[in-house]
Amino acid sequence: MNEMSKEIIFSRAVIQKRVQEIADQISKDYVGSDLVVVGILRGAFIFMADLIRMMNIPCKVDFARVASYGAGAESFGKVVMTKDIETSIRGRDILIVEDIIDTGLTMQYLTGWLSERNPRSIKVCAFLDKRKKRKVSFHADYVGFTIDDGFVVGYGLDFDEKYRFLPDVYVIKQ
Ligand code: 5GP
């Protein structure tokens, strides 16, 4: 299959600068907290690794995995948890780190799921936010960049398991 045509939208330099800004804000907001950072596999792994290394407060880490997209760009419109976290979160501050919020269904489901375990607080940090594409109302507490539309890859985000390793972010051109 031919390489898909794609156009760079956020360079690695721009990404690193923005991630540092978010990390500074999170470090201020969670001083003295018993913070658990929950990364959503697989897309958020690179963002989360950069983010926690740029923070200057300690945190625990765990991971969850949900399936909402198949091997392509189409959403199933249904969210299923395929890997739960293993850390006890009762009474702790939880920061969910997500690659991209699109319809909002994944984050609505996950925040509901984790809330039932009575954490002290739950906030969401998304690298990208497609705010105009929401099917349900959902507001992230920290957002790297807001984008309008288009399918993006790189910096952990894939298309059919390709392109995750790219250090910059691209939009796939049809
Ligand atoms: P939502 O439930 O908000 O519609 O979908 C969130 C999930 O859809 C993200 O975690 C991500 O896996 C996937 N997704 C949504 N838009 C994109 C995109 O432009 N590129 C990639 N690679 N994944 C996307």
Ligand 1 atom nearest residue 150's Cα: 19
The answer to whether position 89 is within a domain reads yes
Instruction: Provide the pairing of β-strand 6-10 with 75-83.
Output: unpaired
The answer to whether position 167 is within a domain reads no
Q: What's 62's domain CATH number?
A: 3.40.50.2020
Distance of CA 74 to the CA centre of its chain: 18
Percent of the chain with pLDDT over 90: 85
Confidence class for position 138, pLDDT limits 50, 70, 90: very high
CA 32 – ligand 1 centroid, Å:
32
Higher pLDDT, 38 or 74: 38
Mean pLDDT computed over every residue of the chain: 93
Number of separate domains in the chain? 1
**Per-residue pLDDT tens for 64-110?**
999 875 444 555 567 889 999 999 999 999 999 999 999 999 999 99
Tell me how crowded residue 168 is: count the other CB atoms within 10 A of its CB. 16
Q: Which residues contact 104 (CB under 8 A, 6 or more apart)?
A: 134, 135, 136, 137, 138
Select from 69, 147, 163 the residue to mutate for testing ligand 1; criterion: most ligand atoms less than 8 Å from CB.
69
Residue with tokens 């897309």: 43
Q: What is the pLDDT of residue 6?
A: 94
The answer to whether position 24 is within a domain reads yes
Backbone φ, ψ for residue 81 (5° rounding): -80, 125
Select from 6, 76, 83, 99 the residue to mutate for testing ligand 1; criterion: most ligand atoms less than 8 Å from CB.
99
How confident is the model over 154-158, as a mean pLDDT? 98
The answer to whether position 81 is within a domain reads yes
CA 24 – ligand 1 centroid, Å:
25
User: With 90 as the cut, is the pLDDT of residue 133 above it?
Assistant: no
Query: Exposed, middle or buried: residue 121 (CB in 10 Å: 0-12, 13-18, 19+)?
Result: middle
How confident is the model over 12-40, as a mean pLDDT? 98
Q: What is the pLDDT of residue 76?
A: 56
Q: What is the pLDDT of residue 70?
A: 45
Q: Which residues contact 46 (CB under 8 A, 6 or more apart)?
A: 155, 156, 164
CA distance 31 to 43: 27
CA 85 – ligand 1 centroid, Å:
20
